[in-house]
């Protein structure tokens, strides 16, 4: 006897409207707005498009992790620890800011880039950890194919019997890039102690009889086994979307720009540490990235 799958109900749908960010970059933000300020453990989700003469020059972070997922183009990164590299289509970078990091993210020369960047809160006990990077290349991502109309890139977590290669974030989370052709249907299990959302990058899907379209983000209740999603036979084309879930952190979120703490006092301290190059920001003193200087753009 099989147990009946109980889908999670929709709690909110938010449309990601385009806005300016960084220097000349355009993003569609669906978490980190007045509509959805945060969705523990998630602090921000940007669907970014950056032209060759734009980018995100030197800037700090503290108290969170960032996950960058490249959809198209080549994106260079560099930080004050000496780490640097390039992400290509399908590649991911998991960066833990911890107690402090300053970095830059700039398109490789003559490149326009598109991708997702997600900010994830760190548990209180890990906010003072040392910064670190973990890269995941496109060729390393396993793929689940529950039927001939569905392809699921298992970036983190488990889908239809396929496990991700490794845990890349300190905060437990699942991350899938799903492509579904017209006439397809899936049920994706999600851990019971996770929040989960679904962001549409291309096309549209049907959930609870509702049509969810490109650039919309669907947030779900915590009750239920997971998500139930379909693409009708008469859909105009394939749908592509991200399913992202993370462990609910029962802690305060106090955020000011790139600093995420659990109290106003800790936020004030983060700004003071950054300004005085101390307590994690020592290497910021006199540092500037080489990639931000290319062509005198910034």
What is the residue-wise DSSP string for 59-109?
EEEBSEEEEEEEEES-EEEEETTS-EEEE-TT-EEEEE-TT-EEEEEEEPT
105 known ligand binder: yes
125 known ligand binder: no
Q: Which CATH architecture has domain 10-247?
A: Sandwich (2.60)
Q: How far is C-alpha 171 from the geometric centre of its chain's CA atoms?
A: 13
277 known ligand binder: no
Mean pLDDT across 181-205: 98
- Give the pLDDT confidence of 283-292 residue by residue, as tens digits: 999 999 999 9
Q: Which residue, 145, 131, 151, 156, is CA-closest to 69?
A: 156
Q: Which residue, 278, 42, 33, 11, is CA-closest to 172?
A: 42
Q: Which residue has the higher pLDDT, 28 or 2?
A: 28
- Give the pLDDT confidence of 62-103 residue by residue, as tens digits: 999 999 999 999 999 999 999 999 999 999 999 999 999 999
| Among the ranges given (25-29, 61-65, 162-166, 201-205), the one the predictor scored with the smallest mean pLDDT | 162-166
Domain positions in the chain are 10-247
In this prediction the pTM is 0.96
61 known ligand binder: yes
Q: How far apart are CA 71 and CA 92, in angstroms?
A: 10
- The predicted structure's pLDDT at residue 38: 95
């Amino acid at each position: 006897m099989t147990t009946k799958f109980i889908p999670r109900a929709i709690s909110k749908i938010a449309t990601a409207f385009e806005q300016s960010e960084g220097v000349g970059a355009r993003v569609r933000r669906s978490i980190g707005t007045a509509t959805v300020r945060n969705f523990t453990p998630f602090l921000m989700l940007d669907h970014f498009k950056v032209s060759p003469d734009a980018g995100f020059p030197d800037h700090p972070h503290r108290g969170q992790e960032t996950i960058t997922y490249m959809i198209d183009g080549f994106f260079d990164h560099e930080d004050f620890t000496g780490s640097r590299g390039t992400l290509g289509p399908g590649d991911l970078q998991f960066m833990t800011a911890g107690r402090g990091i300053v970095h830059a993210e700039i398109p490789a020369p003559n490149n326009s880039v598109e991708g997702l960047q997600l900010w994830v809160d760190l548990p209180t006990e890990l906010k003072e950890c040392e910064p670190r990077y973990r890269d995941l290349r496109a060729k390393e991502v396993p793929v689940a194919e529950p039927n001939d109309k569905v392809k699921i890139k298992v970036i983190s977590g488990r889908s239809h019997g396929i496990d991700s290669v490794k845990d890349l974030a300190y905060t437990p989370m699942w991350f899938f890039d799903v492509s579904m052709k017209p006439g397809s249907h899936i049920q994706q299990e999600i851990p019971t102690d996770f929040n989960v959302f679904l962001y549409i990058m291309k096309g549209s899907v049907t959930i609870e009889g509702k049509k969810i379209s490109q650039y919309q983000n669907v947030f779900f209740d915590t009750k239920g086994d997971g998500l139930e999603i379909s693409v009708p036979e008469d859909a105009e084309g394939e749908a592509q979307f991200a399913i992202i879930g993370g462990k609910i952190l029962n802690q305060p979120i106090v955020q000011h720009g790139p600093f995420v703490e659990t109290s106003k006092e800790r936020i004030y301290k983060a700004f003071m540490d950054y300004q005085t190059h101390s307590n994690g920001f020592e290497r910021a003193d006199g540092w500037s990235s080489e990639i931000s200087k290319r062509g005198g753009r910034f």
